């Protein structure tokens, strides 16, 4: 198969089971949202997919190849964090190039990718600035740009809009949808915001206490929630 496959993933921290037997297939190019209450294991699951942490049990395959033991850098994925994680002492341009410079990617190719991403995200005017001289929304665009220039097979986004004010969140949501349409890359998107999940995702994975409660399209979850928890979480607005 192509895409991402999680098989019986378990993650314990000490005696605490944080991820309990999660199996899931994500198709190439699909936009999948992980939703669920704080502490249910969304970030942990994303870190396991990214290779930033190792599962206690189970396996992860990308395009049919077992990557459970493969390092984060070699998985062809790019992660975008809620906290931006930009280097404050580097310019935006340097932040975008960082991590690509000592790879096989040629200098001219790096420049071309930066120009392309900067245009797409409308951050061209800020390339020489440092992150501290940018607004929250601009910083978040740079963080997304840094993922884009790596040309990953999949983007892993952990609540990337949650630090933004409501108005900006709505416009960035539209930008993410446009970006997904343009890049046609797989996106796995963690959020505790149901509206974000409902408007952006092809499928939603509802997590509770480290388990999957239900997986389905927004419409399926909305019309046929598997239980009261899902119904309450996806919730028809009254």
Total Cβ atoms within 10 A of residue 42? 24
Please say which residue, 39 or 125, places its beta carbon nearer to ligand ADP. Answer: 39
Nearest to 84 by CA among 51, 123, 111: 123
| CB contact at 8 A, 21 and 211 | yes
Nearest residue to 146 via CA among 109, 182, 121: 121
Choose the contact partner of 13 out of ligand ADP, Mg ion, none; CB within 5 to 8 A by kind: ligand ADP
Least gap, CB of 184 to ligand ADP (angstroms)? 27
Instruction: Judge contact between 155 and 77, C-beta under 8 A.
Output: yes
Of 227, 236, 186, whose CA–CA distance to 29 is shortest? 186
In the structure encoding, which two tokens stand for residue 27, read together?
């198709």
Looking at the Cβ atoms of 38 and 71, the one nearer to ligand ADP is 38
**Residue among 39, 31, 16 at smallest CA distance from 188:** 31
Phi, psi at 89, each rounded to 5°: -90, 0
C-alpha distances in angstroms, 32 versus 70, 77, 116, 187? 23, 15, 25, 6
Query: Would you count residue 180 as binding ligand ADP (CB under 6 A)?
Result: no
Work out whether 44 is an interface residue with Mg ion (CB under 5 A). Answer: no
Per-residue contact track with ligand ADP, 31 to 60, x per CB under 6 A? -----x-xxxxxxx----------------
Q: Pick between residue 32 and residue 121 the one whose CB is nearest to Mg ion.
A: 32
Give whichever of 35 and 134 is closer to ligand ADP, judged by the CB atom.
35
* Cβ count near 53 (within 10 Å): 16
Q: Pick from Mg ion, ligand ADP, none: which does 136 bind, CB < 5 to 8 A by kind?
A: none
In angstroms, give the least distance from the CB of 78 to ligand ADP.
19
Residue 43 in the binding site for Mg ion (CB under 5 A): yes
Q: Which is nearer to Mg ion, 97 or 204 (CB)?
A: 204
Measured between alpha carbons, how far is 89 from 82 in angstroms, rounded to an integer?
19
Number of residues that bind Mg ion (CB under 5 A): 2
- Position 102 contacts ligand ADP (CB under 6 A): no
Work out what residue 87 binds among ligand ADP, Mg ion, none; the CB cut-off runs from 5 to 8 Å by kind. Answer: none
Where does this chain bind Mg ion (CB under 5 A)? 42-43
**Interface with ligand ADP (CB under 6 A):** 13, 18, 36, 38-44
């Amino acid at each position: 198969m192509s895409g991402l496959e999680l098989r019986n993933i378990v993650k314990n921290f000490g005696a605490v089971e944080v991820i309990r037997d999660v199996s899931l297939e994500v198709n190439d190019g699909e936009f999948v949202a992980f939703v669920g209450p704080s502490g249910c294991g969304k970030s942990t699951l994303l870190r396991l997919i990214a290779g930033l942490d190792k599962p206690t049990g189970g396996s992860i395959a990308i395009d049919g190849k077992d990557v459970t033991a493969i390092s984060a850098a070699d998985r062809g994925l790019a992660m975008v964090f809620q906290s931006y994680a930009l280097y404050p002492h580097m310019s935006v341009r340097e932040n975008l190039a960082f991590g690509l410079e000592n790879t096989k990617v040629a200098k001219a190719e790096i420049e071309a990718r930066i120009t392309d991403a900067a245009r797409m995200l409308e951050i061209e005017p800020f390339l020489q600035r440092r992150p501290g001289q940018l607004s929250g929304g601009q910083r978040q665009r740079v963080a997304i740009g840094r993922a884009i220039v790596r040309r990953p097979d999949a983007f892993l986004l952990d609540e990337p809009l949650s630090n933004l004010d409501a108005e900006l969140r709505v416009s960035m949501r539209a930008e993410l949808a446009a970006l997904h349409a343009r890049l046609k890359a797989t996106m796995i998107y963690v959020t505790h915001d149901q509206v974000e999940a409902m408007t952006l995702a092809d499928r939603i994975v509802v997590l509770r206490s480290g388990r999957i409660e239900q997986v389905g399209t927004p419409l399926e979850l909305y019309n046929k929630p598997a239980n009261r928890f899902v119904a309450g979480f996806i919730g028809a607005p009254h």
